[in-house]
Amino acid sequence: METWLLILITVALIVLLLLRIKKPKYLKTLSQEEFKENYRKAQLIDVREEREFKTGHILGARNIPLSQMKQRMTEIRPDKPVYLYCQNGSRTVQAAKILRKKRGAQDLNHLKGGFRKWTGKIKK
C-alpha cells in the first residue's frame, strides 16, 4: 500500500511540474530570424538573473529577472509587444504567464532556444 502511495505522489509531482513549464497558446515562439525582425520595435526583456545578464545579453534588452517579475511587472507596458528570452526558453514561459495573468499583456513572444542559441549582436 505504501508503494502505491509513493508512486501516486511521484506521478502527481511530475504532472504539476509539466503543467508549470508547458508553453501556453498565447505565448508565440519565434525563430531567431522572426525575433530579429521586430525585437527593436518591442519591449525586449531578458528574464535571466542579473549575474547571467552581465555576462552578455541581446543589445537593447532590459533585465527583469523572473525572480523579480511580480514586483517589477509594472515596468512592462501591457499594450505593446513583449519579446522575452532567457538562457534556454523555460523561464520565459513562467514570465509570460505572470504578465498575462497579473498585467493583462496580450502580445507575448519568446525566442526559440533562448540566449544560448542567439547568434545576433550582444553586449558584454
86 among known catalytic residues: yes
Q: Among candidates 84, 87, 82, which has minimal Cα distance to 116?
A: 87
> In one letter, which amino acid is 124?
K
Where in 48-98 does DSSP place strands (E)? 57-58, 62-63, 82-85
Catalytic residue among 44, 64, 86, 99, which? Answer: 86
Instruction: For residue 53, give the C-alpha cell.
Output: 545578464
Instruction: For residue 117, give the C-alpha cell.
Output: 542559441
- For 69-102, the pLDDT digits (tens) are 999 999 999 999 999 999 998 899 999 999 999 9
pTM above 0.85, yes or no: no
- For 15-58, the pLDDT digits (tens) are 777 666 677 889 999 999 999 999 999 999 999 999 999 999 99
